[in-house]
Amino acid sequence: MTELIAVTGATGRIGRRVTRRLAEAGAAVRALGRDREKLSRLPVADTRTASYDDAAAMRGALDGVAALFLVSAHEGPGRVRTHATAVDAAVAAGVRRVVYLSYLGAAPHATFTYARDHWYTEQHINSTGVRHTFLRDSIYQADLAAMTGADGILRGPAGDGRVAPVAHDDIADAATAVLLGGAEHDGATYDMTGPEALSFAEIAATLARAAGRPVRYVPETRDEAFASRAGYDAPDWQVEGWVTSYEAVATDEMDTVSDAVLTLTGHPPQSFADFLAANPRSYRHLTDHPAD
């Protein structure tokens, strides 16, 4: 009998891709999410609606599931507790293996505040005794394009640090390979990165070449970074997350280049330049608002 694999966040950027890849591979897939209408658009018949913080709903949604792909919940002050509720529900439902989408540099004292959440979630998963694999993603290539303003400025306190951004498709390919694999992945932590570590000045230059217009990186101090984001009227914890994501680059916590994508999928990870060439919509805001 084919073991059932559940994918959470199945309508999101990673979950949707993993669901499709598993279905194409002939796996038995159950897609979980909170929006029934969006779930109905997926290429699988077995869908369930459930929220991570609803233990009973999660237990019911995971009944009969052997392996769970756990995409991290939306950022928030109670995210670790929300993750723990979902993990405990999975264990109670009899799930035997959890593949968790974590973050590069996850640690209890990580500069990036959200990376701390991921570390504590990893620790909770480990404490349950369930078989597990952690995929620690670097910054997404699409997010770097989105972080650049329509004015052609990428600003933040990243200093001269470097990061190897990764494509959503490469993460989805790697996650699918792990979910379809076996015990060889038990207890493993994979750093998921692109093929090269780039400074933010190099990232801006790559965007400029793709968009055909000037794009530049403007380094900020911590105070300047908070001030430049004050207009978003976001809660303090969210702004702290935004700012510390750059600061983690400045402290070299993101300066990692891994061969995990190649090892797991058999193909090299996509470069940032190749991602932009294949995805012009990711930087459309730069071409729709050309420099003066």
* Single pTM value for the model: 0.96
Handedness of CA 87, 91, 94, 95 (dihedral sign): positive
Predicted confidence (pLDDT) per residue in 22-42, tens digit: 999 999 999 999 999 999 999
| CA of residue 140 relative to chain centroid, distance | 7
Main-chain dihedrals φ then ψ at residue 148, nearest 5 degrees? -85, 125
Q: Could you read off the pLDDT tens digit of each residue along the chain, which spans 292 residues?
A: 579 999 999 999 999 999 999 999 999 999 999 999 999 999 999 999 999 999 999 999 999 999 999 999 989 999 999 999 999 999 999 999 999 999 999 999 999 999 999 999 999 999 999 999 999 999 999 999 999 999 999 999 999 999 999 999 999 999 999 999 999 999 999 999 999 999 999 999 999 999 999 999 999 999 999 999 998 999 999 999 999 999 999 999 999 999 999 999 999 999 999 999 999 999 999 998 776 5
Give domain limits for the chain: 4-138+167-192
Report residue 208 as tokens.
């400029």
Residue-level length of the chain: 292
In CATH, the number for domain 4-138+167-192 is: 3.40.50.720
What is the reported pLDDT for 287? Answer: 92
Question: Contact, 14 vs 99, CB < 8 A?
Answer: no
Whether the Cβ atoms of residue 3 and residue 63 lie closer than 8 Å to each other? no
